[in-house]
Amino acid sequence: MLLRARERAAQLGCSPVLPGAGAALSVLAAAAGARAVVEIGTGTGVGSLYLLRGMPSDGVLTTIDLEVEHQRAAKEAFTEEGLRPTRTRTISGRALDVLPRLTDGGYDMVFVDADKESYPGYVEQAVRLLRPGGVLAVDNALWHDRVADPARRDELTTIIREVGRTVRGDDRLLPAMLPSGDGLLVAVRR
């Protein structure tokens, strides 16, 4: 299922979650006992499958993406995986329009993997959505090894670097950087 979802991502020009980061997402979802998860950036469902594999069988993944075609591909992946339709809730639209309508403190985990320019807003919303003990995971936190290189000052690298600083400086969060995939910034809501 993951292989086909990755193939669809290549066809549609998406960058799917790398296997190391995906494995970490499954473990984090399982460790948190995550029954209610928000994914910002569905893509073709690669990250969704990793999250769902770590979630209990009654867990529900709410996944948001602007691209309807991507969500259609993700739904194919969910069907191939044999998931009941009640396990996923796909929402089409701009995440920054959708997230404010979700319940404060109502989620066990939030995974951020969409347009990098909006990461600061996504992370701000994610902290609001997480219950105490809930897990935040931000993909591409090393941004192709550019974040650690102070000479890199392009816009996306600067944004992702600033998100890392924001998460580390937020007293409500206990953060760690996992060097899996392209970097997975994780934090637990205190």
Inter-residue contact 26 to 50 (CB < 8 Å): yes
Closest CA to 20 of 162, 140, 149, 182: 182
* Distance, CA of 136 to CA of 133 (rounded, Å): 10
pTM, to two decimals: 0.97
Over residues 39-94, the pLDDT tens digits come to 999 999 999 999 999 999 999 999 999 999 999 999 999 999 999 999 999 999 99
Summarize the chain as % helix, strand, coil (round to 5).
45, 25, 30
pLDDT of residue 162: 97
Three-class SS state of 74: helix
CA-based angle 68:74:76, to the nearest 5?
110
Q: Give the Cα separation of 172 and 184 in Å (integer).
A: 19
> Cα–chain-centroid distance for residue 35?
15
Q: pLDDT tens for residues 109-122?
A: 999 999 999 999 99
Inter-helix orientation angle 119-129/155-169, to 10°: 20
Of the candidates 71, 70, 48, the one whose C-alpha atom is nearest the C-alpha of residue 59 is 48
The CATH number of the structural domain formed by 2-189 is: 3.40.50.150
The residues spanned by each domain of the chain are: 2-189
Query: What order of strands is seen across the sheet that includes strand 184-189?
Result: 88-92, 60-65, 36-40, 107-112, 130-139, 184-189, 173-178
